[in-house]
Structure 1
Amino acid sequence: MKNNVFVAIRASIVFIVLCGILYPLACTGLAQLFMPSQANGSLVHNAEGEVIGSALIGQQYDNPAYFQGRVSSIDYNGAGSGSNNYGPSNPELLQRTKDSIEAWKTANPDVPVSELPIALVTNSGSGLDPHITPASAEVQIPRISKLTGLSQQQLHELVEEQTEGRDLGLFGEPRVNVLELNLKLQAMMTQ
């Protein structure tokens, strides 16, 4: 009986060292070696080298001269993700969507509501999605052109340049990372 206790204690110590220390260190080391940007949070830096966000977490843009991302029910708080699990007939969801549509009409009077992609007035499942569809970016071009003085053609080319294709050519949908798009837009405005 005593022998079994010592075997169990030794086995526990071995597995604690292997699984609790060596394996995590090996995984961290390999991640830092082969994909350091992803291992460090896919951080995005501005021209001065300051961290301004992550390519994996959406942000709110208060300046209407920039592209806007999806609505977030958690205010883009990266500490947690998720959204209210409202059904399509929930009054709070309906009111939030109506409010988003009204805000859209006010900010984009030149674009009919019928052209508004639903993704711009609803949030993703995580509430942190950093991407919008190319159509969601394109529909914002008239407002941004007016506010920045850049031509609509320049903005169309920018959106096309920043559009990411399907993963491996098969999975997902084409998308635009709003933070990276706005960084390029900011660079164009300062030229």
Structure 2
Amino acid sequence: MKKHILPAIKLTAVNIVFFAVIYPLAVWGIAQFAPNNGKGEIIEHKGQQYYSNIGQSFTEDNYFWSRPSAVGYNAAGSGGSNKGPSNEEYLTEVQTRIDTFLVHNPEITKSEIPVDMVTASGSGLDPHISVQAAKVQIKRIAKIRNVDVRKLEQLIAEHTDKPLAGLFGPEKINVLKLNIALDKLSE
């Protein structure tokens, strides 16, 4: 018995020291070299502060819409809806989002709506949309803001984040930064 208990106690103590002290301190130390000491990028706009790495709700027609959130953009409780693609309630919710998007963007068809405009991300806090999601909204915004379509296309190109190392992940756009640039364009 002594042969098994002592090694187990030693292993538990080593794991507690490593995972409760050394590892958190190492992550905290690395974060000190990140922007804003690892607390996220804070952007000020019109007298308010926003975290650029947390999804914001944009549903007004004069802005690029953000990705839907399963948690109401509440950063205190991130998470998906956990409803599968055969769940009737989920399908109704997605269909409602499709219908709403089509009403506000009558120039496009259902097949042109990117999936990220009608489904929430796994965290419910994704601050990005796809390049396609931004492009399908151009006509609506150009009409409402009386801005040339080419200027909006250029704005999207300027705010497109390329894949990590040119290989990993899709191109994406931070909606908050894009909409702030849109406001500055209209000033």
Pairwise same-fold verdict (TM > 0.5): yes
- TM-score class, shorter-chain normalisation, is 0.7 to 0.9
Counterpart AA for 1:107: H
The 1:87–1:152 alpha-carbon spacing in structure 2 relative to 1, beyond 3 Å, is same
- Note if 1:42 corresponds to 2:41: yes
* Distance (whole Å) between structure 1 residues aligned to residue 65 and residue 37 of structure 2: 24
* Matched residue, 1:134: 131
Deviations 1:6-32 (A, max 9, x none): xxxxxx9xx98x987788667545533
> Between the two proteins, what is the percent identity of the paired residues?
39
Partner-residue secondary structure (3-state), 1:45: strand
Partner-residue secondary structure (3-state), 2:76: coil
Counterpart AA for 2:64: F
Verify the 8 A CA contact 2:59 2:66 in the aligned structure 1.
no
TM-score by length of 1: 0.81
RMSD, matched Cα: 2.3
The 1:65–1:21 alpha-carbon spacing in structure 2 relative to 1, beyond 3 Å, is same
Q: 104-113 or 149-158, which moves further after superposition?
A: 104-113
What does 1:3-22 correspond to in 2, within 5 Å?
none
* Matched residue, 2:86: 89
Moved over 2 A (4+): 18-32
What does 1:6-155 correspond to in 2, within 5 Å?
28=28, 31-32=31-32, 34-37=33-36, 39-46=38-45, 50-51=48-49, 53-155=50-152
Q: 56-65 or 170-179, which moves further after superposition?
A: 56-65
Per-residue deviation, 1:70: 1.0
Per-residue deviation, 1:59: 1.0
Structure 2: segments with no counterpart, 5+ residues: 1-12
* Distance (whole Å) between structure 2 residues aligned to residue 161 and residue 188 of structure 1: 13
The 1:31–1:143 alpha-carbon spacing in structure 2 relative to 1, beyond 3 Å, is same
- Note if 1:168 corresponds to 2:165: yes
* Distance (whole Å) between structure 1 residues aligned to residue 136 and residue 123 of structure 2: 24
Per-residue deviation, 1:157: 0.5
Per-residue deviation, 1:92: 0.7
The 1:153–1:90 alpha-carbon spacing in structure 2 relative to 1, beyond 3 Å, is same
* Distance (whole Å) between structure 1 residues aligned to residue 107 and residue 117 of structure 2: 16
* Distance (whole Å) between structure 1 residues aligned to residue 19 and residue 167 of structure 2: 36
Structure 1: segments with no counterpart, 5+ residues: 1-11
The 1:148–1:84 alpha-carbon spacing in structure 2 relative to 1, beyond 3 Å, is same
* Distance (whole Å) between structure 2 residues aligned to residue 169 and residue 30 of structure 1: 24
The 1:62–1:120 alpha-carbon spacing in structure 2 relative to 1, beyond 3 Å, is closer
TM-score by length of 2: 0.83
Deviations 1:41-64 (A, max 9, x none): 22222265x41x212111111321
* Distance (whole Å) between structure 1 residues aligned to residue 82 and residue 19 of structure 2: 36
The 1:189–1:85 alpha-carbon spacing in structure 2 relative to 1, beyond 3 Å, is same
